Structure 1
């Protein structure tokens, strides 16, 4: 059965996301999907299910590595009975916060701080590639209102740009341990919505953040969520107790429950 919905979950930049010992880092199943503007290939590995795609990618790791980590945390609960889950790898490119070292990142930035300007050129270039990838699924019969975009850390920020600047017709957006720059283009776009545009529902936002995160403090995530809420978004923010900049089993279980509320089985899946 062809998928009738799609979830984009792009994880990136977490030094704690690597699979534990004993979990293989096999890249043999990676499938090359597209090219970004600099010629770097976007790679992702997936597992076919009946309804949706979930995309996950991590900086300094691969989509397949993140998949193994999610499977390790959730075991038998790591898949949906009616959803297809896909884990992509962000392009391998120079990353300024690492002194220009090349890494798997969705976009560049001056520093990991909300006070610096966005590197909007790299954000928009990557968004264009991801939109094209999503449009391929739409062309194959997956409607936008059966698609969720989301991610961890930088991947969550990328998803926010996708859901609120490029593809506001999606079913939902989630961002885990993520933040936006204080003068993000997203705030500008939302603040300029006309009265007619405000009558159109934007996708709900689901955010989680570890209360012990030292790389991206929870304060940044809360401030991002509060600003987006004041601009009219339906937001939900969840504090993950005793969590650093990492994915926790409880967090993933809550996320999966939310995804199922946004993408329940269709009649074809019953």
Structure 2
């Protein structure tokens, strides 16, 4: 392979999985952050799934006084229109695409692969998943927003025009305001997508009801 793969945490829910979920963490976290969620999803034994939780590279984050931390991209401003550094987003999307391609080479069908992400990770899931030329199983965007929404109309892949989208956001999120999650959903609808939007009484986190809804959605998508 021409590109070195990102390191990741792997959790399998059973032997010989035929489906795969690539799940990106948020700013300052690592692949270890969401790995413990897998048992909480209570997926049936009849649906063995391979979960990959890649680690974002360490980089300086401008709004955090240039502190070095795991980040999928720099955040140079809290301004809604320029919050995500496009160069970093595209670099990370390429890294996740390499991981996605490695799963194809391992024998997974693209329609059995889900791209998922929380916060910064969700930005990458949106950016890559909507532009991939292979039809994938779905995109899961949790407590997140969209980078360069105005570019979607021109850059969207026809293969994923009807991709299943699970979008979730907390009504009390102080980190990624609910308005940004709603704006992403509005952009999706304006471009002909049909996102499934869930709102929860929570902050910038994941709640039990959300996990139950994610489990049901994954089973529907991957069975």
Q: Normalising by structure 2, what TM-score?
A: 0.85
Alignment partner, residue 147 of structure 1 = 113
The answer for the alignment partner of 1:202 in structure 2 is 162
Query: Whose radius of gyration is greater, 1 or 2?
Result: 1
For the residues of structure 2 that align with 1:80 and 1:93, how far apart are their CA atoms? Answer: 38
Alpha carbons 2:75, 2:85 under 8 Å: kept: yes
Match status 1:237 vs 2:197:
yes
Closer, same or farther in 2 for the Cα pair 1:149/1:78, shift >3 Å?
A: same
SS at match of 1:216: coil
Task: Determine the structure 1 residue equivalent to 2:75.
Answer: 109
Partner of 1:136: helix, strand, or coil? helix
Greater shift, 54-63 or 100-109, is seen at 54-63
Name the SS of the counterpart of 1:232 in structure 2. coil
Contact 2:22 2:51 in 1 (8 A): yes
Question: How far apart are the structure 1 equivalents of 2:154 and 2:83?
Answer: 13
Which residue of structure 1 lines up, in the alignment, with residue 95 of structure 2? 129
Q: Is the 8 A contact 2:22 2:114 kept in 1?
A: no
Equivalent residue in structure 2 for 1:64, among 32, 41, 61: 32
Displacement, 1:113? Answer: 3.8
C-alpha displacement of 1:236: 1.2
Matched, 1:224 2:188: no
State the TM-score, normalized to the length of structure 1: 0.72
Contact 1:114 1:181 in 2 (8 A): no
The C-alpha deviation readout for 1:35-68, integer Å capped at 9, x for no partner, is 47xxxxx321112332233233343222123323
Q: Does 1:247 align with 2:203?
A: no
Gaps of 5+ in 2: none
RMSD of aligned Cα (Å): 2.4
Following superposition, the deviation at residue 184 of structure 1 comes to 4.7
